[in-house]
Structure 1
Amino acid sequence: MSLTSQFVANLKRFRLVTFDVTDTLLRLNDPLRQYQQTAEEFGVTGVDRRKLEQCFRQQFKAMSSEHPNFGRFSPEMDWQQWWLKFVAQTFICVDQGLSHEKLEKIGHRLITHFRTSTCWNHVEGGQELVQSVRNAGKCVGIISNFDPSLPQVLDTMGYAGKFDFILTSYEAGFMKPDRRIFEIPLKRLDIPADQALHIGNKLDLDYEGARNCGWSGLLVNDNSNQHSFANLSDLLETLKTKEIKW
């Protein structure tokens, strides 16, 4: 994969380039459908999708408030238990008559299932962009609000060996946009903030989070500023063909 001179010039100032994952490099494949299908495997049929979506959003907000960062600092709760409780509460919200045993089985199956390629799709342009950045000689990493299973997800989606490090919020103990999660790789690699670039899809978590720590940022699925692009393919094409003003 050859690099254009403009691509090299655009990234010249950076020694470190990091990526968000969900909806930046990878996209979930209809998670509510996965919940419905898994419930059906254990005899729970006729789950109303609208009700399931309402309960999913409600319980995710509640769990994230009560046990932030996938239960990172919640006593007697690891990240898997966080997901088990979330799944159970979501389905109880839909149907209070489900047994604890059945909810446990559904939860364990979903935890396993969401770490496979069945539940994820590649965002167009992602693999090419990551490889191009690597070919440009940059240190390439991941900074993501995710549980410790992220390396497994990336491996199963063909990203094995493509990153110099994978930093999850669970490992860091801080979630984006907390500046401390962006400071960790700088300290580990002894790289100044003005030589680091983060690419993500959330204005507050990724773009502003990075810039508030002295990084540069690029944003996809957004059109809010000069560093925003409709999608990853447009970002890649711009890096190849146009000068970006940092």
Structure 2
Amino acid sequence: MKSLQFDFSTVRAVTFDAGGTLLTPHPSVGEVYAEILRGYDIIRNPLELESAFQSAFSSISKNPAVLDPDEREKDFWRQVVRETMKESPIPTSQFDNIFINMWDSFSHADRWRVFDGSHEILKTLRDRGYWLGVLSNWDQRLHSVLEETGLSDLVESVVISVEVGVEKPDSGIFRAAETMSGMPPDALLHVGDSRHHDLVGARDAGWSGILIRNDEGPADPPSIGRLADLIDVLPGPRSPAQEIV
């Protein structure tokens, strides 16, 4: 991999987005939804469900209508599931049970795949002296997913939007991670797969940012094709003595 034309020598702490960066649903959301629906004798096409889910998630993420502040986490996903199923609605009498089954299913590691090499990359960066964290637009289920996948053992903090009250790219969530790290903005780097939420959000907070393309999309800097390329970008934080020289 060609070296990025950016100076990350001041970086001493690295945060990672979760979905699309460290983790991905496995099998697909459409396949999981179809499997759960079959348990209620409801047959749906997994590919059609996946397409409907992607559309519903994108639409509701832009215009969420949270109805119950005390149920903020679940209410968003209720809206997504209802919108996903709008072409062939789930019977009202079954919806709540089916939704809870879908919600609980993605609370566990068996519905997620850790991208190849993620554990080793985090271990290497930690051994090189970097402070590591996860910074994600997610709900509290992320804690159990990270624990069950063994990723939580490799980071010092997990900052989740639902617990902070704001989402990336809002600088507030970056400030929360910054406080946990105890380091200034110019010492922090965020890695994620969304140009808007991750790269722009990090820059607006005064951090460095790297976009991970997962070998897709244009190689606009600063970006890497896959997470493993980060090893070449971050050789280790400079010591105070090195920074003075």
Match of 1:26 among 23, 26, 31: 23
CA deviation after TM superposition for structure 1 residue 74, in Å: 4.7
Residue in structure 1 matched with residue 40 of structure 2 by the alignment: 42
Q: Distance in 2 between matches of 1:187 and 1:239?
A: 22
CA offsets 1:72-127 (integer angstroms, 9 cap, x no match): x8535331233234323422x1313x322322121111111112222111112321
- Structure 2 spans left out of the alignment, 5+ residues: 236-245
- Structure 1 spans left out of the alignment, 5+ residues: 1-5, 241-246
- The alignment status of 1:83 with 2:77, answered yes or no, reads yes
Contact 1:146–1:170 (CA<8 Å) still a contact in 2? yes
**Which 10-residue stretch deviates more, 102-111 or 59-68?**
59-68
- The alignment status of 1:167 with 2:165, answered yes or no, reads no
- Match of 1:53, SS? helix
Structure 1 length-normalised TM: 0.82
Superposition map of 1:184-203 within 5 A: 184-203=176-195
Alignment coverage as a number of residue pairs: 226
Structure 2 length-normalised TM: 0.82
- The alignment status of 1:227 with 2:231, answered yes or no, reads no
CA offsets 1:168-201 (integer angstroms, 9 cap, x no match): 1111111111122111222344321001111111
Amino acid in the other structure paired with 1:114: F
Q: Distance in 2 between matches of 1:115 and 1:36?
A: 17
- Match of 1:181, SS? helix
Q: Distance in 1 between matches of 2:68 and 2:170?
A: 19
Residue in structure 1 matched with residue 92 of structure 2 by the alignment: 100
Contact 2:31–2:50 (CA<8 Å) still a contact in 1? no
Amino acid in the other structure paired with 1:55: A
Q: Distance in 1 between matches of 2:203 and 2:70?
A: 35
CA offsets 1:187-234 (integer angstroms, 9 cap, x no match): 344321001111111112111210121111122115443321111123
Q: Distance in 2 between matches of 1:238 and 1:64?
A: 32
